[in-house]
Amino acid sequence: MSIAVEVFDSRRNQLGEGPTATGDKNSHVQWCDIYGQLIRSKNLITGEVGEYKTDEPVGFQIPRKKGGDILGTANGPVLRDKDGTLHKMPSREDADGFKDKNVLRWNDAKVCPDGNLFLGSMAYENQTNEGALYRLSSDGKALTRLFGGVAISNGMDWSNDLTRMFYIDTFAMSVDVFDYEAGNLSNRRKLVEISDGMGYPDGMCSDAQDNLWVAFWMGSCVRCFDGKTGKQIAEIKLPVQKVTSCCFAGEKLDQLIITTAVGNPGEPMDLNEYPEAGFIYVAQPGVIGKKTNLFGA
């Protein structure tokens, strides 16, 4: 059975990423355009749109419990108040004890149900093994490097019982799973092996049954995998190549918001062939998802 998609927002994003759905009836949908240096939003019910600029490329955005957002600006993260005031936070250099060897930026991030924010980095030129995964405490005071050797730190989510964390390093061509306990990760193993021709695994989210909805860059789709066996169980096809991430939205959490991209700066893109590249889509996959967790103590 095919799952239909439709355009949710037709503002074109150079590199749309990291959607969230918060507020009344999970209807405030927000995402970032990494290289467009924009945070954009649209209300699922009213259709009201908004956006604001950032001073640097911004790898992630997550609304805060106290209002405003936490942003993964290239040299951040930073807290942004509703009025636009920015507050510095611990940096990668603080956590690592050394400066970045190459030019890095933050990429995907997500708040765990226990309040910890997990955030990953990547190199601008996609050098393998330059990135890392970090954990930021809910009060924003402690940034901890968990492990390095990452190419492109991407999608993540947790099982309902908080005993497992799912994780994607795009160039590893797999979806991995860790044992999870109180912010700590152990026993990494592969859950899903990505075959040649499927595209590159990018952002993801999980539904109420712990199944994983994974966006595929150069794969023109979102695929769903069983969270226990890794078996593919569904696919949502899109009319664009570069599908980047997804999240569940709406009062019943039964709508899947899907972000896409024109591409990284300098990459060729034929907008005649893919006229909707960089648009935001919505689908109803027939399952119930999980809420976006807000950042903050």
Indicate the residue type of 118: F
Measured distance between the N- and C-terminal CA atoms of the chain, rounded to whole angstroms: 42
Q: Considering all CA atoms of the chain, what is the largest pairwise distance in Å, rounded to the nearest integer?
A: 51
Q: How far apart are CA 214 and CA 217, in angstroms?
A: 10
Angle 42-44-49 from CA coordinates, rounded to 5° = 20
225: closest CA among 186, 193, 189, 253? 193
Backbone angles phi, psi at 94, to 5 degrees: -60, -45
Backbone angles phi, psi at 253, to 5 degrees: 55, 40
Counting runs of H as helices and runs of E as strands, what totals does the chain give? Answer: 1, 24
Q: How far apart are CA 164 and CA 184, in angstroms?
A: 10
Selecting among 33, 202, 207, 210, the annotated active-site residue is: 202
Tell me which DSSP letter residue 255 carries: E
Query: Has 202 been annotated as catalytic?
Result: yes
Hey, which residues does 135 pair with through a beta bridge?
Answer: 118, 144
Hey, which residues does 50 pair with through a beta bridge?
Answer: 41
Residues labelled as active-site residues? 202
